[in-house]
Structure 1
Amino acid sequence: MAEAPIKFGILGCANIARKLSRAIRLSPNSELYAIGSRSVERAAKFAKDNGFPDSAKVYGSYDAVLDDPEVDAVYMPLPTSLHVKWAVLAAGKKKHLLLEKPVALNVAELDLILEACESAGVQIMDATMWMHHPRTAKMEEFLFDSSRFGELKFVHSSFSFAADKNFLENDIRVKPDLDALGALGDAGWYCIRAILWAADYRLPKSVVSLGGTVLNSAGVIIACGASMEWDDGKTATFHCSFTANMTMDATVVGTNGVLRVNDFVIPYEENRASFLSAAEKPGIDENLQEWEPVPAEETVVATESPQEALMVSEFSRLVGNIKFRGASPEKRWPELSRKTQVVLDAVKASIDNSDQVIEC
């Protein structure tokens, strides 16, 4: 007999919650069970607009979702300033937690969340969707093949988009009381995670912001960059912005090979994604006019499910292991969240201290 699906409650009606509602519907081991908002009318409209079943529970508060004994897990897309309060409450109610990024305003807040989850024995995972695309596993095969890629030397990542006037004035991501990390927390999180991923999650020795950080009138970051250095000499840089043209780029350079991907956060197409790799060391022809060979081997990876549905399915699998088989929570995911937050905190500290070098 097939196990019952994991019943999800969603806290809040944020725009990203529309995407995750669809992901939960598409995931075979998950169920859209409840939605809570600050008003029951808003929650009901969200449920109607986003394909919730007629049987779904509609609540006019977040507490009501957490108090529902049928809810197994909650997806939390609330403003970052609210994460520590509601995540700790959710863990206290034995609800497994899929938490939108950035997971916290700083690592001290995140540690409170992680301690609550560990104490309650519940699974926590951050919603970094690209990590669950099968392309990511395929790229790892190349990166960790020492004969093809070699030793990691340098990583660069960028995530930027040119937000409109309304976003820059009214979005929660530019409000100091809601998401004080701004572009660093929203877009920079992905860049930092990509760098750590390429470095096999080894933390850098030091971090320094690159200068030229752009703040809005309320002091929230809307563009910034940083560089990182490891003890063994490898380096990395990233740039994130709400005011530059769309980029989602990552370039990873090794002693033998190079990997390039131009849509690592959200693939150009939902059901297929590709990356470029080069394992042969190119040269320049004798006339100094052309590369020999052209380093551009494309690998295409197809998927029947979008990456966010694969994320939900993996999270639900872990929750199911705990609920039905008495397993312990998987520790890898909270560890990755914490490492990403540690580096993000260091970047923020460098920015706040006039581009000072910060030890990690």
Structure 2
Amino acid sequence: MSQPQIKFGILGCADIARKLSRAIILAPNATIYAIGSRSHEKATKFAASNNFPETAKIYGSYDAVLDDPNVDAVYIPLPTSLHIKWAVVAAQKKKHVLLEKPVALNVGEFDQIVETCELNGVQLMDSTMWMHNPRTARMKEFILDREKFGVLRSVHAVFSFTADPDFLENNIRIKPDLDALGALGDVGWYCVRAILWANDFQLPKSVTALPGTIFNKAGVIVSCGAAFQWEDGVTATFRCSFFENLSMTITASGTKGSLHINDFVIPIEEKQGSFTTATESRFNDLVTGWGPLPSQHTVVNDLPQEALMVTEFSRLVKSIKNDGSLTEKKWPNLSRMTQFVLDAVKTSIDKSGEPVSLG
């Protein structure tokens, strides 16, 4: 028996919307019901090139999607500067909101989005896809295993890619009026989330931007890094960049073991992902090698991680819509925490690397 399907509307035709459109089609409990763009022609072309159902409604504005009473939820892949406007309007019109990251330009804007969603009883979730991959849960099990991993002491995360000249000149992620956080918001978001995830979402005591931040000619960050410190001595660093070879790594080190993953944001293979762990590693007598050797763990998933995200979001929406359940606070809380730390990194960058206390 097929599952009841949550009807999605999509606001805009951004490149990332191609991936999420496919995810909605693959999710067993969701369907694409409508898409809206600033022009009907653009929306029509996008729907045709991305295998939308023939029944999908095509609208020439975002408002038309939000005014459609049959739309249950919306996916918002618009530039970050437009999130507060359209997420708030969507929530006011009782549409559940799946929001691209970074969720806002700052935590104050995001708080307005959260407040409106809460007032209108709609679910809010950001589109950090790797959080929904079963591999992520398996990795967390290892980090929490006191016998194998011990106690967390440090985390290092990297997300970078080498952008082409057209990207560096024309992409919205380097435009100060559209995505003013640049690389920090685009790829740094994942690094900050990874660090918080590894340390059980405990906020650091302080955040310090590392030297070497690069800005483009418009003043937007295109490469940066930061260091975090916790009261108990745990430390973390991250690096994000539009100028370095594709890298998506997390290294977490504990008192007994360590974990390493090479592709945490987007798995090298869509339907499976691996990570390595090591426990009580030592050099051999001649210090010519070491052991026990790290072990590799492979986790298979039936659906791509973005489809698993849509499935979970749709499950929450269905529970609210049909069963009278309350909204799940976990996801907005994780979004806010990530944005809060991101803001601190940006503040430290603006203050030439001055440490910023998170209270």
TM bucket (normalised to shorter chain) is: over 0.9
Name the counterpart of 2:351: 353
Aligned to 2:81: 81
Check the 8 A contact 2:226/2:237 in 1, yes or no. Answer: yes
Per-residue deviation, 1:2 = 5.5
**Mapping 1:28-177, distance limit 5 Å:** 28-177=28-177
Count of aligned pairs between the two proteins: 358
* 2:291 counterpart residue number: 292
User: What does 1:260-275 correspond to in 2, within 5 Å?
Assistant: 260-275=260-275
Counterparts of 1:67 and 1:4, CA distance in 2? 22
Residues 311-350 of structure 1 correspond to what in structure 2 (within 5 A)? 311-350=309-348
Measured in 2, the distance between the counterparts of 1:2 and 1:321 equals 16
CA distance in 2: counterparts of 1:318 and 1:328, whole angstroms: 9
- Listed as ranges, the matches of 1:6-25 within 5 Å are 6-25=6-25
CA distance in 2, matches of 1:331, 1:58: 32
- In 2: Cα distance, 1:228 partner to 1:131 partner: 21
Q: Deviations over 1:49-79 (max 9, x none)?
A: 1111111100000000000000000000000
Per-residue Cα deviation, 1:319-344 (whole angstroms, up to 9, x for no partner): 00000000000000000000000000
Structure 2, unmatched stretches of 5+, are none
Please tell me the residue identity of whatever aligns with 1:208: T
In structure 2, C-alpha distance between the alignment counterparts of 1:303 and 1:41, rounded to whole Å: 37
Which of 168-177 and 141-150 deviates more?
Answer: 141-150
Any idea what the Cα deviations from partners look like across 1:204-224, whole Å, max 9, x if unmatched? 000000010000000000000
Superposed CA RMSD: 0.8
State the secondary structure of the residue aligned to 2:302: coil
Counterpart CA distance in 2 for 1:293 and 1:74 is: 49
Kindly state the Cα deviation for residue 354 of structure 1 after the two structures are TM-superposed: 0.8
Partner of 1:231: 231
Q: Which residue of 2 aligns with 1:200?
A: 200
**4+ runs of 1 displaced by more than 3 Å?**
none
The alpha-carbon deviation at position 293 of structure 1 amounts to 2.4
**Letter aligned with residue 318 of structure 2:** G
Query: Once the 2 structures are TM-superposed, how far is the Cα of residue 186 of structure 1 from its aligned partner?
Result: 0.2
Give the TM-score, by structure 2 length: 0.99
- Counterpart CA distance in 2 for 1:192 and 1:235 is 13
**3-state SS, counterpart of residue 178 of structure 1:** coil
Whether contact under 8 Å (2:257, 2:281) holds in the other structure is no
Give the distance between the partners of 1:193 and 1:284, measured in 2 at CA.
33
TM-score, normalising length: structure 1 = 0.98
Q: CA separation in 2, counterparts of 1:320 and 1:289? A: 58
Q: Offset of 1:4 from its aligned partner?
A: 2.5
Shift of 1:304: 1.3
Query: 1:187 aligned to 2:203?
Result: no
The Cα shift of 1:3 comes to: 5.1
- Percent identity of the aligned residues? 63
Partners of 2:124 and 2:80 in 1: CA distance: 16
C-alpha distance after superposition, 1:117-155 (max 9, x if no partner): 000000000000000011011111111111111111000
Instruction: State the SS of the aligned residue for 1:227.
Output: strand
CA distance in 2, matches of 1:8, 1:154: 40
> Which AA in structure 1 matches 2:307?
A
Letter in 2 for 1:355: G
How big is the shift at 1:292?
A: 2.7
Q: Which deviations, in whole Å up to 9, do the C-alpha atoms of 1:184-203 show, x marking residues without a partner?
A: 00000000000000000000
- Distance in 1 (CA, whole Å) between partners of 2:330 and 2:133 is 17
Listed one character per residue, the Cα deviations across residues 216-252 of structure 1 (whole Å, up to 9, x for unaligned) are: 0000000000000000000000000001111000000
The DSSP-based 3-state class of the residue aligned with 2:109 is helix
